[in-house]
Amino acid sequence: MRETAVGPRVLLKRLRELMQEPLEPQERLDRIVRDIASNMVAEVCSLYVLRADSVLELYATEGLNPKAVHLAQLRLGQGLVGTIAASARSLNLSNAQEHPAFAYLPETGEEIYSSFLGVPVLRAGRTLGVLVVQNKTMRTYRDDEVEALETTAMVIAEMIATGDLARLTRPGLELDLKRPASFGGVSFNDGIGLGHVVLHEPRIVVTNLFNEDSEDEVRRLAAALGSLRLSIDDMLERRDVAFEGEHREVLEAYRMFANDRGWVRRLEEAIRNGLTAEAAVEKVQSDMRARMMHMTDPYLRERMSDFDDLANRLLRQLMGRGPDDVAASLPKDAIIVARSMGAAELLDYPRDKLRGLVLEDGAATSHVVIVARAMGIPVAGQVKGAVSMAENGDAIIVDGEEGTAHLRPQPDLEAAYAEKVRFRARRQELYRELRNKPSVSADGVPVDLLMNAGLMVDLPQLAESGASGIGLFRTELQFMVASTFPRAEAQEELYRDVLDAARGKPVTFRTIDIGGDKVLPYFKNTAQEENPALGWRAIRLTLDRPGLLRTQIRALLKAAGGRELKVMLPMVTELGEIVQAREIIDREVRHLSRFAHLLPTSLKLGAMLEVPSLLFQLDELMKAVDFVSVGSNDLFQFIMAVDRGNTQVSDRFDPLSIPFLRVLKQIADASRRNHTPVTLCGELAGKPISAMALLGLGFRSISMSPASIGPVKAMLCELPIAELEAFFEDNLPAPANGIPMRALLQAFADDRSIPL
Ligand code: PEP
Ligand code: MG
């Protein structure tokens, strides 16, 4: 590569010296623009910095009227400088005044300059300002000059990002880097969290920008790229089931990018211009991100994120860094901001420091969200753009109720949220007071309010919420957060810990409910399923793989030695499945007693009612089991034919509508007729209005997430159940014309001051 007198290397060398001198920020900027102008033989060099109010302010100039510094301003998109900032692209013009976007700023006296080269000051793809050189003569700047100016802009971006220029901003104004930003998304778990950003994939801060020897750096880059490619090949060749499907596609994309010659060439070029390999990766990445930021094609944007991940991996290779020790450096009010993450990764963070989670991707039923819910932290999902706008340590609010996130919030917004948190805390206080009150309706009917759980992290909530037991323990969660099948001992240990923590309160363990949307990365279903919700899942799968069920049953029996054991089967479709499962259980009981193991004092077997076929054999079902638990999430999905995970349709129909309410009534009636206890453990149980409806339909036991116990109990204490039963007697067979049941129920509650 040619090295000229104005070559980037010479300029970068000067900059390095300037950065090391103990100078005031303004003076440093003045010297930088002066040096750039002289190195590039330009009459003008100016730096504009983007403020939070979307105005580009002149921060330093060599050549223009010095009095214009901090006075000359352009809006984002206005003039050449505003155009560069808005598009994040350089402009190289031999006759600037001919450009349609040219805007003349009288205070600068720039009318006499013809040629113009402006580059965006970028960091992590965000525009922080614009750096410009100008000449009187008409000329086109060479590629190496453009490259030199872009590289210099990167150094300035670091100065802005580290807060060096903050002292130069006028009171009341702020730089764009500190601009408040609000993001809309989807509510994944209720709650409000105020805290500070912790980027799950921390942006690696490259501190060493300038290289001593380009060839050395190119070699270092080649070595790091070599190991990166090897590690990707290795993952792909492992044929590990963990890397099937989407995972594999991402890896294939990584491999393609890692071998992309254009990328490698641009990296080498940046190094030859004087940057370290790390700084080169950052520069090329930042340029690409800025360009792709404006793309709307979701596929390409997704690929860009893959590319980001890859660049981050390459940086780690170059800096020889493993994942940071997060626990040690975590603020005490951490809000994790991630593109996406695995459930186990979330569990790596210490619970006592977590205040919330913001995900750019994810679905409400994704594993990480299930775990976050179990941990009781607010989650906003599908919050696009949060990762690139956030810096570690920024103040942030996550609103899990609305599904929004507010980055660097203004004081009034923060105050409003602090008030909201206080309000919620007061409400929690009321719920806590209810905790030890008997769980009885206003007219004296006792009701069991149970909680759903699935991991050890849930268990402290049993005492805190005042739940009378665990109505649904989702055993598959242990399988979902593990990287291989949990061994029999690990299963037994968890079940024993759960029973110990429950201190005699009843616990209902559901046998593993995998398949459908609950996939285990290490357990492959060889058949491609078009309708996984209707496919090989839950009891169907475990009856086909009896080894799995046997191991689990044995672990449960051993863990519950000397105590009561309640087990239920998910997704039962026909009674024969219960018979088969019972045979397996009986065999395990015989096996354990042969070896003189302590057995449970009683063993109750139940079935989940989630598949409509059971509705047509309710009496037989009630006789075939010791208890029934309605999985209303699945039952509703199958009754209404709406995919519960598809946000386009999942809220389309109301569970509190006549057909579903009638279904629920039939179940409650059959339970009474047959003296078989019934519980309902889907999401319906957790919302006060639907919980109220369930009680009116005859349910006396419902199981919900622990956070719902307080609000549901508050409703229960004010509810005259007999009146609601009478209401249903009147309205369910002959609904009031045209008025939705939900509205009627709301009116019922309002008339009686029942808190919903
Ligand atoms: C249900 O389907 O309502 C249920 C409780 O089970 P899950 O949500 O785990 O499918
Ligand atoms: Mg279910």
pLDDT tens-digit readout, 249-274:
666 777 777 778 888 998 998 898 88
The answer to whether the CB of 631 is under 6 A from ligand 1 is yes
Closest ligand, as measured to the CA of 681: 1
The answer to whether the CB of 92 is under 6 A from ligand 1 is no
- Given this model, what pLDDT does residue 457 score? 77
Q: Does residue 397 register a pLDDT over 70?
A: yes
Query: Averaged over 189-211, what is the pLDDT?
Result: 85
Q: For residue 610, which atom of ligand 1 is closest to its CA?
A: 2
Report the relative pairing of strands 115-123 and 126-135 from DSSP bridges: antiparallel
Rg (the chain; Cα; Å)? 32
- Residue 476 CA to ligand 1 centre (angstroms): 11
The answer to whether the CB of 272 is under 6 A from ligand 1 is no
Q: What is the mean pLDDT of the chain?
A: 88
The answer to whether the CB of 365 is under 6 A from ligand 1 is no
Q: Does residue 641 register a pLDDT over 80?
A: yes
Q: For residue 629, which atom of ligand 1 is closest to its CA?
A: 5
- Given this model, what pLDDT does residue 210 score? 84
The larger pLDDT score, comparing residue 632 to residue 362, is at 632
Closest ligand, as measured to the CA of 633: 1
Distances (CA, A) of 468 to 19, 427, 675, 688: 65, 21, 21, 17
- Residue 184 CA to ligand 1 centre (angstroms): 28
- Residue 608 CA to ligand 2 centre (angstroms): 8
Confidence class for position 405, pLDDT limits 50, 70, 90: very high
Alpha-carbon distance of 479 to 482, in angstroms, equals: 5
Confidence class for position 5, pLDDT limits 50, 70, 90: very low
Residue nearest to atom 1 of ligand 1 (CA): 631
Residue 540 contacts residue 546 (beta carbons within 8 Å): no
Closest CA to 681 of 665, 694, 662, 671: 694
- Residue 445 CA to ligand 2 centre (angstroms): 28
- Residue 503 CA to ligand 2 centre (angstroms): 27
Alpha-carbon distance of 201 to 203, in angstroms, equals: 6
Q: Does residue 119 register a pLDDT over 80?
A: yes
Confidence class for position 241, pLDDT limits 50, 70, 90: very low
Q: Does residue 243 register a pLDDT over 60?
A: no
The larger pLDDT score, comparing residue 237 to residue 531, is at 531
The larger pLDDT score, comparing residue 166 to residue 5, is at 166
- Given this model, what pLDDT does residue 250 score? 63
Query: Averaged over 366-372, what is the pLDDT?
Result: 76
* pLDDT one-digit tens code per residue, 609-638: 999 999 999 999 999 999 999 999 999 999
Q: In this structure, what token pair is assigned to residue 495? A: 């079940």
* pLDDT one-digit tens code per residue, 329-352: 789 999 999 987 777 678 778 888
- Residue 323 CA to ligand 1 centre (angstroms): 35
Residue 693 contacts residue 660 (beta carbons within 8 Å): no
Q: Does residue 3 register a pLDDT over 50?
A: no
Closest CA to 147 of 170, 119, 172, 124: 119
Query: Averaged over 419-447, what is the pLDDT?
Result: 92
The answer to whether the CB of 474 is under 6 A from ligand 1 is yes
Query: Averaged over 482-486, what is the pLDDT?
Result: 82
Q: Phi first, then psi: what are they for 473, rounded to 5°?
A: -105, 110
- Residue 536 CA to ligand 2 centre (angstroms): 14
Q: For residue 474, which atom of ligand 1 is closest to its CA?
A: 9
- Residue 630 CA to ligand 1 centre (angstroms): 9
Q: For residue 472, which atom of ligand 1 is closest to its CA?
A: 5
Candidate from 475, 539, 608, 694 with most ligand 1 atoms within 8 A of CB, to mutate: 608
The answer to whether the CB of 634 is under 6 A from ligand 1 is yes
Instruction: Classify 649 as helix, strand or coil.
Output: coil
The larger pLDDT score, comparing residue 158 to residue 45, is at 45
- Given this model, what pLDDT does residue 110 score? 67
Q: For residue 633, which atom of ligand 1 is closest to its CA?
A: 3
- Residue 607 CA to ligand 2 centre (angstroms): 11
Closest ligand, as measured to the CA of 682: 1
Q: Residues of the chain with pLDDT > 90: what percent?
A: 53
- Residue 682 CA to ligand 2 centre (angstroms): 8
Q: How far is CA 150 from the centre of its chain?
A: 34
Q: Does residue 245 register a pLDDT over 60?
A: no
Q: Does residue 111 register a pLDDT over 80?
A: no
The larger pLDDT score, comparing residue 19 to residue 124, is at 19
- Given this model, what pLDDT does residue 501 score? 94
- Given this model, what pLDDT does residue 240 score? 46
Q: Does residue 750 register a pLDDT over 70?
A: yes
Detail the DSSP E strand segments found in 9-89: 44-50, 55-62, 73-75
Residue nearest to atom 9 of ligand 1 (CA): 474
- Given this model, what pLDDT does residue 47 score? 96
- Residue 632 CA to ligand 2 centre (angstroms): 7
- Given this model, what pLDDT does residue 255 score? 77
Alpha-carbon distance of 508 to 188, in angstroms, equals: 26
The answer to whether the CB of 710 is under 6 A from ligand 1 is no
Residue nearest to atom 4 of ligand 1 (CA): 631
Alpha-carbon distance of 540 to 666, in angstroms, equals: 26
Candidate from 367, 451, 513, 534 with most ligand 1 atoms within 8 A of CB, to mutate: 513
Query: Averaged over 107-132, what is the pLDDT?
Result: 86
- Given this model, what pLDDT does residue 1 score? 36
Q: For residue 452, which atom of ligand 1 is closest to its CA?
A: 5
- Residue 712 CA to ligand 2 centre (angstroms): 21
Query: Averaged over 484-490, what is the pLDDT?
Result: 92
Closest ligand, as measured to the CA of 517: 1
The answer to whether the CB of 633 is under 6 A from ligand 1 is yes
The answer to whether the CB of 477 is under 6 A from ligand 1 is no
- Given this model, what pLDDT does residue 4 score? 42
Q: How far is CA 305 from the centre of its chain?
A: 14
- Given this model, what pLDDT does residue 242 score? 42
* pLDDT one-digit tens code per residue, 694-715: 999 999 999 998 888 999 999 9
The answer to whether the CB of 632 is under 6 A from ligand 1 is yes
Confidence class for position 300, pLDDT limits 50, 70, 90: low
- Which has the minimum average pLDDT: 217-221, 241-245, 423-427, 585-589? 241-245
The answer to whether the CB of 313 is under 6 A from ligand 1 is no
- Residue 371 CA to ligand 1 centre (angstroms): 15
Candidate from 474, 508, 539, 572 with most ligand 1 atoms within 8 A of CB, to mutate: 474
* pLDDT one-digit tens code per residue, 570-608: 999 999 999 999 999 999 999 999 999 999 999 999 999
- Residue 529 CA to ligand 1 centre (angstroms): 20
Alpha-carbon distance of 680 to 663, in angstroms, equals: 13
* Planar angle of CA 353, 357, 359, nearest 5 degrees: 150
- Given this model, what pLDDT does residue 679 score? 98
Residue nearest to atom 6 of ligand 1 (CA): 631
- Which has the minimum average pLDDT: 91-95, 288-292, 357-361? 288-292
Alpha-carbon distance of 516 to 633, in angstroms, equals: 13
Residue 462 contacts residue 455 (beta carbons within 8 Å): no
Report the relative pairing of strands 627-630 and 678-680 from DSSP bridges: parallel
